[in-house]
Amino acid sequence: MFDAVVRRIATGEYLDGLPGSRSAALRPASPAAVAEAEELAGRSLPSLLRRLYLEVGNGGFGPGYGLLGLRGGHRMGGLDALVGLKGGVLVLCDWGCGITSELDLATGQVWGCDPNPAPEGVSGAFPQHMTIVDWFAKWVAGTLYQPWLVQDPTTGEWRGATDTECAEMLQEAFGPDGPED
């Protein structure tokens, strides 16, 4: 998967959310920044993520407004990846409007957080049923959707939207060609 991510980055389309920033030079994270993150988390980063930080860039590529960096790396909206790390959660990226993708380092599970539509008392966080490898594989394939909290039309429960629901909502909002970059 590492090579596939590097190939996608090499196309120059490595930052989906900020067209003007696609030409920004990527600078790898320092070994000290990775060690600090792992110490804060109390565990090692997944090997793919660790390698991407050390060999490719300290954030600034990937979905949304780019993979958030470790110390000294890519930030968005005042956030870096370390914001929730003492709880073992690495914030992967900011999609805008308060929506984030996060990685639970204890379980390897990627979570979405969409605080926007949920009524008071309902958590905007939900499992996305994928690992970091799955998350990057979907980004490389162009099939990764931002986390989207929806109310199930049958049960009334709040949950993460399926890929099919995301595709339908995007088509409804933007037409068959999707949103413009």
Of the given ranges (81-85, 105-109, 174-178), which has the lowest mean pLDDT? 174-178
Task: Give the whole-angstrom CA distance, residue 71 versus residue 82.
Answer: 8
pLDDT of residue 180: 57
Pair 111, 132: CB distance under 8 Å: no
Residues of the chain above pLDDT 90, percent: 74
Which tens digits make up the pLDDT trace of 98-107? 999 999 999 9
pLDDT average, residue stretch 61-89: 90
Residue 142: helix, strand or coil by DSSP?
A: coil
Mean pLDDT of 130-136: 98
23-71 pLDDT tens trace = 467 999 999 999 999 999 999 999 999 999 999 999 999 999 999 999 9
- What whole-number distance in Å separates Cα of residue 105 and Cα of residue 87? 9
**Quick one: pLDDT at residue 19?**
44
Q: Looking at 78-87, 138-147, 154-163, which range is the least confident one? A: 78-87
Model confidence at 156: pLDDT above 70 = yes
CA distance 90 to 29: 15
22 pLDDT higher than 60: no
Q: Where are the domains of the chain?
A: 2-174
Query: pLDDT grade, residue 14 (50/70/90)?
Result: low
Contact 69, 79 (CB under 8 A): no
Q: What pLDDT does residue 86 have?
A: 78
Residue type, 109: Q
Question: Would the pLDDT of 111 be above 50?
Answer: yes
What local confidence, expressed as pLDDT, does residue 15 receive?
58
The mean pLDDT value for 156-169 works out to 93
Which residues does residue 125 pair with via DSSP β-bridges, in sequence order? Answer: 113
Q: Is the pLDDT of residue 21 over 90?
A: no
Any bridge partners for residue 92, and if so which?
A: none
Report d(CA 160, CA 166) in Å as an integer. 10
Q: What average pLDDT does this structure show over 89-96?
A: 94
